[in-house]
Amino acid sequence: MRSLPLPLALTARLTPVAVLACAGWALSSGPAAPAAAGDRPAQQTPTGAASAPSSTAASKSYTAAPAPCSSVPAAIVKSLVPGAKTAGKEIPSTDTALRRTCSWNALKGYDYRWLDVSFEITGSDEAAKKEYQQRVTEKSGGGPVPGVGDAGYSVVNLSTENKQETREGVVLIRASNALVVVTYNGSDFETKKAPGTDEINKGAIKAAKSAVAALRPGGSG
């Protein structure tokens, strides 16, 4: 069965959604405010002065992004992107310690699928919460993804270009100071229809669960 050329909208996805991670993120933060004094009296130094409270580091669990192309098992890649090379292709990043993305895409017969998995490590839990809320606000119309990370959100949209439909799902998960962003889309070039909302949403969430499990406290996976 012959393969058909990709429409412009899908060809443009060669610059994946994860490049948004490079758009001016503040990925570092200063130390947190000094810890509050406890109920116990401060211990006296030999000179009679109370010892000063020490400041605590900003709360975070992850210091580096894991290897993105090994974050999704080969069996899941095969089911979501039939015909794709399971090794995937890592997208160049300006800072691989903090931002890493892998993409898989394939045209099998007339069915096209694309999967992106991106890891973004912020300087603190608070920074990740702020970025997460901002992105959820920008992608209105979706719903929560319970039971994955500290917070999860998914949204699915349908677009049409030259009568060709493409349906794309985005899942955003926050786990401590890490954000996991999964983008999954598909088209059928024979019928010009897109796969169903349920198929795309469940596929994106499945990949997101695997990606979150690949996070490793204190280092890369």
pLDDT 10s digits, 110-163? 999 999 999 999 999 999 999 999 999 999 899 999 999 999 999 999 999 999
Per domain, the residue ranges of the chain are 8-13+60-213
- Give percent of the chain with pLDDT exceeding 90: 68
Cα separation, 181 vs 52, whole angstroms: 42
With a CB cutoff of 8 Å and minimum separation 6, the contacts of 210 are 71, 72, 73, 76
With cut-offs at 50, 70 and 90, classify the pLDDT of residue 25: very low
Cα separation, 105 vs 86, whole angstroms: 10
Cα separation, 173 vs 195, whole angstroms: 23
Check residue 127 and give its pLDDT.
Answer: 97
Tokens 């490049």 -> residue: 19
Of residues 111 and 221, which shows the higher confidence score? 111
At residue 170, does pLDDT exceed 70? yes
Quick one: CA dihedral 73, 74, 76, 81, positive or negative?
positive
Of residues 19 and 119, which shows the higher confidence score? 119
pLDDT 10s digits, 182-212? 999 999 999 999 999 999 999 999 999 999 9
Q: What is the pTM of this model?
A: 0.74
Cα separation, 126 vs 13, whole angstroms: 31
Check residue 11 and give its pLDDT.
Answer: 47
| Architecture category of domain 8-13+60-213 in CATH | 3-Layer(aba) Sandwich (3.40)
CA 27 to the chain's CA centroid: 15
How high is the mean pLDDT of the chain? Answer: 81
List the beta bridge partners of residue 167: 158, 186
Of residues 185 and 221, which shows the higher confidence score? 185
- Mean pLDDT check: name the lowest of 57-61, 178-182, 193-197: 57-61
